[in-house]
Structure 1
Amino acid sequence: FTLYRNFYDAYAREWQNGNSRWDIIDMARLTRALRPEGINWPDHDDGKPSFRLEALTAANNIEHAGAHDALVDVYATIAFAKLIKTAQPKLYDFIYQHRGKNAISPLMNIHERTPFIHTSRMYPSEYCGTALVVPIAKDPTNNNGIIVYDLRHDPSDLINEDADTLRERLYSKTADLAEKGLSRPALKTLHINKCPIVVPENTLNDEAAKRLDIDREQHYKHLAMLNDAGDLTQKLNAIFKAREFDAVDDPDASLYGGGFFSGNDKRKMDLVREAGAEQLKLLSLPFDDARLEEMLFRYRARNWSESLSAEEQAQWQQYRQERLNGDNEKILSFDRFFNDIQTCRSEELTDKQRQVLDKLEAYGQQLQAEVS
């Protein structure tokens, strides 16, 4: 949101200059699941695999002093990725070369319903988040989404239950389902533009299948049941139809609900960022997107309040008063801000933490005086 409110392309960092959303943790999960040799893999106390960075680095003698310091964690993550590349170069190279959606798409054969291996935190941790899945439909709300089914599970409910029942279960809390003796449908959307971890089924050897509780005979029985059920597209479209959320009418908070900016608007946003206070005051930019005019006013007010006219100053003051003194639970008001600080002070704190709270409280008091 900081990028968005300051007229930067909020998504450019994910694709410009060859960038991607590739996440090392899912590659680590897959490596442990399929090709664990050459790496020490730690477990939690309950025996389930641990993929906490500090546990992985400790088990493999990787320097990681100051864990949870952002830069230290970056270097440790890179070092662990290098370890995977050294220990399992073929697997590493395949995953790296199949980050982009154009490389991944050929594995998504919905018509033939060809199974493949998929790793995601949505699958049980005892199986390293890895499952043998089959693509069964396109997501009706996302052109980059493929609906996949986890073949560990009997698809009878998917075939026989109505769409409304399945949709309710899909979005229910796990605890609520457990109380009713129900389970979540074994469905998820795989986003081909988010560097999902997918590899062909033939990468699964017998040892890995046993480790992941993948019984091929049973899995293919479940696949046959899905195939015998015919076209499930209509039901899946109903299950995955767009969910309704409260409308967001604040342009500063409309990053996700307001759509993408046009190329024309992006060029004008570049001009906004390059302009100084006096230039911003004189800029006339007829935006295509209705959000941007109000966002530009707030951008000027936050960063160059001296550039505002008397009328604009009054408009900004009224906006701040209404927002910071209101009772909208979704907005951090002064009352909530100071109450949260007092709640934090009731906990056991270090001197540094108390100093941070002192500075926050002083800032809030200064701002409150300005808008009163």
Structure 2
Amino acid sequence: MEQSFLWYDLETFGTNPFHDRIAQFAAVRTNMKFEIIGEPVVLYCIPSEDYLPDPQACLVTGITPRECRSKGLPEYQFAREIFNIMMVPGTTVTGYNSIAFDDEFIRNLFYRNLFDPYLREYSNGNSRWDIINLVRATHDLRPEGIIWPETDEGKPQFRLERLSAANGIGHDQAHDALSDVYATIEMAKLIHDKQPRLFNWSWKHRKKDELRKLFNLNSRPALVHSSPLLTRKEGATTLICPLGVPGEGARQGRDTMLCADLRYDPSRILDLSVEEIRKRVFLPSAMEDETHRRYPVYSIKINRAPFVAPLNSLKPERADALNIDIQKCLDNRDTLLRNQDITAKIRQVFNDPPSGSLPDDPDYQIYGGFFADGDREQFPFIHRSMEELLSMDDKSRETGIREFISGVQRMNLTQKERVSKLVSRMLGRNFGSQLRGKAAQSWKEFCQNRLIFPLLNEARDIHSFRREIEKLQSRPGLQVRDKIVLKELLEYFDELKRITLEVS
């Protein structure tokens, strides 16, 4: 099976992957030598009438709902195109900070449209990767041959546009998805050319099964870990000791590994209770003082391609540059190993239920449990029906929609309410203007509720949306492009009021 990278990037209408929508998708496929295969893909998604974008996000990207309407696809067709691209056998879907951000939007997009949100991550020799932690590790462990910019505070700068500019990589249109993709490819190629062994290590250890071998809970080795949580003036890397997975009842699953930062002496928490340790682990840095110091324990998701490597990858001169005392770290590890009860206590610290939860609504239930096998076996009927509706003319589609709704109502589903609501919203988001009768009324009422009473506190409602636009319009020094974007957003606001809310 021929392996390939699918380098991709998104521009979105907000930052919450459960609620906000994708505006633009761009992808370029290369072979393992970074040679481009085929044509680049750029897709836009038409926003539906149950959603309001974040005006600030539109200012950042310059993309408005009007542009997406003129260039874009309905959400189901948009999701299908991306799903098919990512499902090419042997594909590693890769980006820059994609696992923490873009992948969550993709998962929610697939889920809302009843595509398996995880299949492209493991099926047919496929996988996912993200080079941002490799970039951090390269800066800290093997920086030679690459120019490393800094922030105004003197910390290493890992923003793609700054790294690109410092290293002569063309990136003229930051926050344009395709431009970001090309910059990501060139950054990956630069690291591969300058530090091939480090690149190959990260690539070969992108999967959780390989990472589990490193986190050997029998020997609990000292490991090198690079992460944004560790970013400081010297770098973003430390030495860690694996402690195990969270205990029974924890909100994290078996793909989570708890690790202690070995730069910190664990002896000061040995005699503390579980509750006292919990306070130290989650103590905000602003509340630290001489007697109350935070004890860093990291929850590492091994299914998110973290950068982890053996101790021997940290050379003494790089340890000095990172202000890491290797011997002190090993002594702290020995303290942990001699006191196994502290490991058990720390695992209990992470057993609390989540502090908050998403709304009890099908749109937000991607992590609320898998669909039953029997239900998933009937999804092909839904997909065939959606494909047929997309291919019909307007007159035939009205009849097709009625037959599709009747077919879904006859389906014997374990989670009938959840699936039926997702299907009805798919119909509204893709064919809202062609719904008739009860289906049309239900869709309109749903849109009204979403726009007036959004389920997430941080989501925009119809009133805060306009206030935010007007606030941005009053900002001094607005560029011409920004004025155009805000004007288009106000026009979009007026259109949604007229079509969806029917108020003047």
Provide TM-score, normalisation by structure 2: 0.67
Q: Which residue of 2 aligns with 1:209?
A: 319
1:276-333: CA deviations, max 9, x gaps? 2515233233333342211212222332246645233333333333443348662532
Cα-to-partner distance string for 1:225-262 (whole Å, 9 max, x where unaligned): 11221233431232111324246212112223x12334
Name which of 288, 293, 315 aligns with 2:420: 293
Task: Write the letter of the residue equivalent to 1:166.
Answer: I
Residue-by-residue CA offset, 1:105-124 (whole Å, 9 max, x unaligned): 11111221111111111113
Say whether the 8 Å CA contact 1:20–1:195 is kept in structure 2: no
Quote the residue 1:238 is aligned against: 348
Deviation at 1:142, TM superposition (A): 0.9
State whether residues 31 and 91 of structure 1, in contact with CA within 8 Å, keep that contact through their aligned partners in structure 2.
Answer: yes
Match of 1:304 in 2: 431
Supply the distance in 1 between the matched residues of 2:145 and 2:299 (Cα, whole angstroms).
32
Spell out the pairing of 1:155-304 with structure 2 (5 A cutoff). Answer: 155-175=266-286, 177-178=287-288, 182-241=292-351, 242-246=353-357, 248-256=359-367, 258-275=368-385, 276=389, 277=397, 278=400, 279-284=403-408, 285-289=411-415, 290-304=417-431
- Secondary structure of the 2:298 match is strand
State the alpha-carbon separation in 1 of the partners of residues 354 and 293 from structure 2. 20
Higher strand content, 1 or 2:
2
Instruction: Please point out which of 314, 332, 336 is paired with 2:441.
Output: 314
Could you tell me how far apart the structure 2 residues matched to 1:157 and 1:287 are? 55
1:307-366 CA distances to partner (integer Å, 9 max, x unpaired)? 645233333333333443348662532222222221222224333333333333233323
Aligned to 1:28: 135
Query: What do the CA deviations read for 1:32-66 (whole angstroms, capped 9, x no partner)?
Result: 22222222223334433222223322332222222
Counterparts of residues 320-339 of structure 1 (less than 5 Å): 320-326=447-453, 330=457, 331-339=459-467
Query: Of residues 77, 86, 89 in structure 1, which corresponds to 2:184?
Result: 77
Query: How far, CA to CA, are the matches of 1:44 and 1:302 in structure 2?
Result: 42
Q: Within 2, Cα distance between the matches of 1:307 and 1:283?
A: 18
RMSD of aligned Cα (Å): 2.6
Aligned counterpart, 1:346: 474
Q: CA deviation at 1:193?
A: 1.2
1:265/1:340 Cα in 2 relative to 1: closer, same or farther (>3 Å)? farther
- Which of 90, 102, 107 is the matching residue for 2:209? 102
Aligned CA distance change for structure 1 residues 75 and 112 (closer, same or farther; 3 Å): same
Residue 88 of structure 1 corresponds to 195
1:131-170 to structure 2, matched below 5 A, reads: 131-140=238-247, 141-170=252-281
Deviation at 1:16, TM superposition (A): 4.7
1:234 maps to amino acid: A
In structure 2, C-alpha distance between the alignment counterparts of 1:22 and 1:168, rounded to whole Å: 34
Aligned letter for 1:86?
A: D
Q: Which amino acid aligns with 1:154?
A: D
- Alpha-carbon separation, structure 1, partners of 2:110 and 2:228: 27
Give unmatched runs, 5+ long, in structure 1.
none
Distance in structure 2 (CA, Å) of the matches to 1:4 and 1:361: 30
Structure 1 position 2, deviation (Å):
3.3
Query: Mean Cα displacement is larger for which, 5-14 or 26-35?
Result: 5-14
Hey, what does 2:54 align to over in structure 1? none
Once the two structures are aligned, what percentage of the paired residues are identical? 34
Q: Do the aligned partners of 1:280 and 1:300 also contact (CA within 8 Å) in 2?
A: no
Q: Which residue in 2 is equivalent to 1:368?
A: 497
Deviates more, 1:305-314 or 1:344-353: 305-314
Corresponding position: 1:357 with 2:486: yes
Question: Quick one: distance in 1 between partners of 2:456 and 2:210?
Answer: 44
**In the superposition, relative to structure 1, how do residues 252 and 29 fare at CA in structure 2: closer, same or farther (>3 Å)?**
same
Change (3 A) 1:301 1:327: closer
Name the aligned partner's letter for residue 337 of structure 1: F
**Contact conserved, 1:8 with 1:270, CA < 8 A, in 2?**
no
- In 2, the alpha carbon distance for the partners of 1:48 and 1:366 equals 45
Contact 1:65 1:72 in 2 (8 A): yes
